Amino acid sequence: MAMGDYESTATSLEGEENLIAAAEHIVKALGSNKNFTKDVKKILADLGSQLSTMATIEDNMVEGKKSGIEEQLSVVEEKIMSWESDDSMIWDSGPDEVAEYLNAVDGARKLTERLENQCLSSQEEKDLLCRAHDVLQMAMQRLEDEFKHVLVHHRQPFEPEPISFRSSEDDAVEEGSIVSFGDESVEESILRDSISRNSEEFIVDLVHPDVISDLKCIANLMFSSNYDHECRQAYILVRKDALDECLFNLEIEKLSIEDVLKMEWGTLNSKIKRWVRAMKVFVRPYLVSEKWLCDQTFAELGSSNLVCFVEAAKAPMLQLLNFAEAISIGSHQPERLVRILDMYEVLADLLLDINALFSDEAGSSIRIEYQEVLKRLADTVRVTFLEFENAIVTNASTSPFAGGGVHHLTKYVMNYIRLLADYNETLNLLLKNHDGAAATSLSPDTSPATGEESITKDFSDSCSPMALHLQSLTSVLEANLDEKSKLYRDASLQHFFLMNNIYYMAQKVKNSELRLIFEDKWIRKHNWKFQQHAMSYERATWSSILSLLKDDSNSSSGSTSRTVLRERLRSFYVAFDEVYKTQTAWIITDVQLREELRISTALKVIQAYRTFVGRQMQHIGEKHVRYNAEELQDYLLDLFEGSQKSLHNPNRR
């Protein structure tokens, strides 16, 4: 008998048995009525006898039914037991074997339920139920193994697309330190991970699509057999391993908060870059795809899909969040600011994804922890930004910067500011007071001693919080540079140093996206500043020297006048030689500024020299003229190269 026919017959017999019992009860009740006639009582007695006979027949059929259950149990038991001694996997043996095994397991489940729903009085019946339970448990253990096998064997390789990097034209800052300012490290290029804020969510197949129906079938059968816990645990175990492997492939190590806090910055910097990349890949698309797989597998089984997804993803997510938490409570050194901003931005960018993935009660702990870490990183950005400004203020020098060139502090700060421009939207959000107004941390004692207007007057009232903070940084930088310039004894070198550094600042703003933040007024103001220092340099260097070449209306052809003129020319040569020896060692790295200052200097010096020599040649004598105007101009072109030379050196060229 087929299992379906057997169940139909068993159900029919059970209905007849109940009907006969009810009829017997009614007949007995009627027979006790003394008001019935003798004939009625005889009819009821005959009916009771017939019902008793039918009950006896029914009892015999029930015995046959019990025998049928045992027979069916033996059939499914044989099929299930046949695979217990076989090391191969059922799902590797073809669809026919799979279908036969699933039918046998489903038969064992239904037989067990049938026995459980009956009133079992004899020990034989109880033993039969125990046997059915054993067969079903054996089948469930096998299905659990098959479930894991299908999940593992048919797993699809996940290869995230390479994240594009954009190379900044600015000098690197994250490798250096605002405290130490390594010379060459400031000039290295920086790579910043690009964050695609509008990238679409997409699904990838984490297991082969052809086996999704098999996974659903196994899950449904295990759940209907009350082995839902075992099914969920099997799924969670396999998928958690897959998630761990994903993090491993993304080069994410399992680190404690203590491990992160002890890490050297160079190592930590690399790990933060990898973490940012991993977060983008792990959440979108990997977790999105993981959620989809879970939904497909447990689609018909209530909230199990949510529970399984959260339990599988919890440990990997907390591993990533613990790293971010360690960064938030770690050092607030300024060189970390850009990396912390990268971390904040990627978390903020993925916040909606996280809220959607863990929207239910089961995922609330991950959702809450994620939001807390995001908040702590925001606080860290603010503190680190203020620490950056404080580090500029407190950066002191005990000796003048060689050659009067662009100081490492200037390069570091301006290149850092240029990098911060990439985070304009984020910083505008974070650098606000609690009342929403823009905050400025520049205090009166940190304002540059230039006698100029207050910082906020450089911008309109509607200026963004970031613009005010960046202007604050440049203002304290200028104040610091002004102090550093005082370390030079030579007034001309003081102005030369400030000219170099302010010009560098102005160019960095003018030739980058910073121009939109600082606005043209700031650029014009600083162009004017460096030009003023250039003119002050020229006056301090050349005024006294060129005064020797001034036309003296009292000069005559007398011997005393000739002596004075020759002495003045000789003094000019001595002073010129000294300027040449000194200022060839000074440096202007910007080609345009160097050429402009040379031309400006040459126009004044050559004009004065040519006029003096031309007018006084007859009084001085040709033998006392050491250089012609063209030679003098060539010598001026040697200035500001950063390599000291002497006019007495025949190999100066």
User: What pTM value is reported for the model?
Assistant: 0.74
Does 54 fall in a domain?
yes
- 552: DSSP letter: -
Of 172 and 185, the one with more pLDDT: 172
Tens-digit pLDDT profile for residues 351-380? 999 999 998 888 999 999 999 999 999 999
Q: What pLDDT was estimated at residue 52?
A: 57
Asked if residue 592 and residue 504 are part of one domain, the reply reads: yes
Residue % of the chain over a pLDDT of 90: 53
Does 602 fall in a domain?
yes
Indicate the length of the chain as a whole number.
Answer: 653
**What are 258's two structure tokens?**
């203590």
Mean of the pLDDT values across residues 437-449?
41
User: Domain count of the chain?
Assistant: 3
Tens-digit pLDDT profile for residues 472-505? 999 999 999 999 999 999 999 999 999 999 999 9
Tens-digit pLDDT profile for residues 623-643? 888 989 899 999 999 999 888
Does 105 fall in a domain?
yes
Asked if residue 467 and residue 340 are part of one domain, the reply reads: no
**What are 522's two structure tokens?**
């700031």
Asked if residue 416 and residue 371 are part of one domain, the reply reads: no
For 370, 546, 576, 637, the CA distances from 573, given in Å and listed in that order, are 73, 11, 5, 17
First-to-last C-alpha distance (Å) of the chain: 112
Q: Given 129, 154, 179, which residue is the final one in a domain? A: 154
Q: With beta carbons less than 8 A apart as the criterion, state whether 581 and 636 touch.
A: no
Cα-trace Rg, the chain: 46
Of 106 and 505, the one with more pLDDT: 505
Does 4 fall in a domain?
no
Asked if residue 235 and residue 358 are part of one domain, the reply reads: yes
Does 30 fall in a domain?
no
Question: What confidence tier does 21 reach under pLDDT thresholds 50, 70, 90?
Answer: low
Q: 28 pLDDT exceeds 50?
A: yes
Q: Among candidates 68, 71, 50, 70, which has minimal Cα distance to 12? A: 68
Comparing 121-135, 182-196, 243-257, 400-414, the range with the smallest average pLDDT is 182-196
Does 263 fall in a domain?
yes
Asked if residue 105 and residue 238 are part of one domain, the reply reads: no
**Burial letters for 148-163: b for 16+ Cβ neighbours within 10 Å, e otherwise?**
bebbeebbeebebeee
Asked if residue 602 and residue 529 are part of one domain, the reply reads: yes
Q: What pLDDT was estimated at residue 436?
A: 47
Q: What pLDDT was estimated at residue 622?
A: 84
Q: 81 pLDDT exceeds 90?
A: no
Q: What pLDDT was estimated at residue 446?
A: 39
**Parallel, antiparallel, or unpaired: how do β-strands 189-193 and 165-171 relate?**
antiparallel
Determine the structural domain holding residue 56 and report its residue range. Answer: 41-154
Q: Among candidates 411, 416, 395, 399, which has minimal Cα distance to 589? A: 411
Of 222 and 302, the one with more pLDDT: 222
Of 65 and 192, the one with more pLDDT: 65
Does 24 fall in a domain?
no
Q: 165 pLDDT exceeds 50?
A: no
Asked if residue 284 and residue 365 are part of one domain, the reply reads: yes
Of 38 and 261, the one with more pLDDT: 261
CA-to-CA distance for 534 and 497, rounded, in angstroms?
10
Dihedral, CA of residue 383, residue 386, residue 392 and residue 396, to nearest 10: -70
Q: What pLDDT was estimated at residue 33?
A: 63
Q: Which residue has the tokens 């607030």?
A: 332
Of 564 and 6, the one with more pLDDT: 564
Does 395 fall in a domain?
no
Q: 331 pLDDT exceeds 70?
A: yes
**What are 180's two structure tokens?**
């130490």
Q: With beta carbons less than 8 A apart as the criterion, state whether 636 and 598 touch.
A: yes
Give the amino acid at 84.
Answer: E
Mean of the pLDDT values across residues 169-184?
46
Q: How many CB atoms lie within 10 A of CB 457?
A: 9
